[in-house]
């Protein structure tokens, strides 16, 4: 009985040590998973911003081509609608860009 009483604290120590080891590995795995998810999120935001800016650029080129020789003082209903749609796309791209995640590489370019 005394031998079991002496082994119990040693066994408890090894169980605690094993639990700590599993906890650390779990924490490291979770940290790596979060870093990977964050990189995926930022890359996804880059693509979203790129496609939104490309959409606004294409709409601007289309507007300039279609209404090249029109009188801006007397716009038609279609021209006003296209202008409103163009401004909506530009505002969407601007809003996405203004809340875009910071990046050291792009900040160095400015």
What is residue 21's three-state secondary structure? Answer: helix
Q: Establish if 63 belongs to a structural domain.
A: yes
Q: Establish if 10 belongs to a structural domain.
A: no
pTM beyond 0.75, yes or no: no
User: What is the 8-class DSSP label of residue 70?
Assistant: S
Give the per-residue pLDDT at 93: 92
Q: Establish if 1 belongs to a structural domain.
A: no
Largest CA distance in the chain: 103
Q: Establish if 35 belongs to a structural domain.
A: no
> What crossing angle do the helices spanning 2-66 and 77-98 adopt, rounded to 10°?
150
Q: Establish if 47 belongs to a structural domain.
A: yes
Mean pLDDT by 10 residues, the chain (110 residues): 76 92 95 92 85 95 94 90 96 87 69
Give the per-residue pLDDT at 28: 95
Tokens 């809340």 map to which residue? 99
Number of domains in the chain: 1
Q: Which domain holds residue 97?
A: 40-101
Tokens 């930022």 map to which residue? 42
Q: Establish if 27 belongs to a structural domain.
A: no
Q: Establish if 79 belongs to a structural domain.
A: yes
Q: Establish if 46 belongs to a structural domain.
A: yes
For 56, other C-beta atoms within 10 Å of its C-beta total 19
The answer to whether residues 61 and 109 touch, using CB atoms and an 8 Å cutoff, is no
């Amino acid at each position: 009985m005394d031998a079991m009483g002496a082994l119990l604290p040693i066994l408890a120590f090894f169980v605690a040590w094993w639990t700590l080891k599993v906890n650390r590995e779990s924490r490291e795995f979770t940290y790596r998973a979060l870093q990977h998810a964050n990189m995926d999120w930022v890359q996804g935001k880059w693509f979203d911003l790129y496609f939104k800016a490309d959409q606004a650029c294409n709409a601007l080129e289309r507007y300039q081509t279609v209404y090249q020789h029109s009188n801006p003082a007397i716009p038609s209903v279609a021209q006003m609608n296209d202008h409103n749609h163009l401004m909506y796309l530009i505002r969407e791209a601007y809003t996405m860009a203004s809340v875009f995640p910071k990046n050291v590489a792009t900040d160095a370019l400015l």
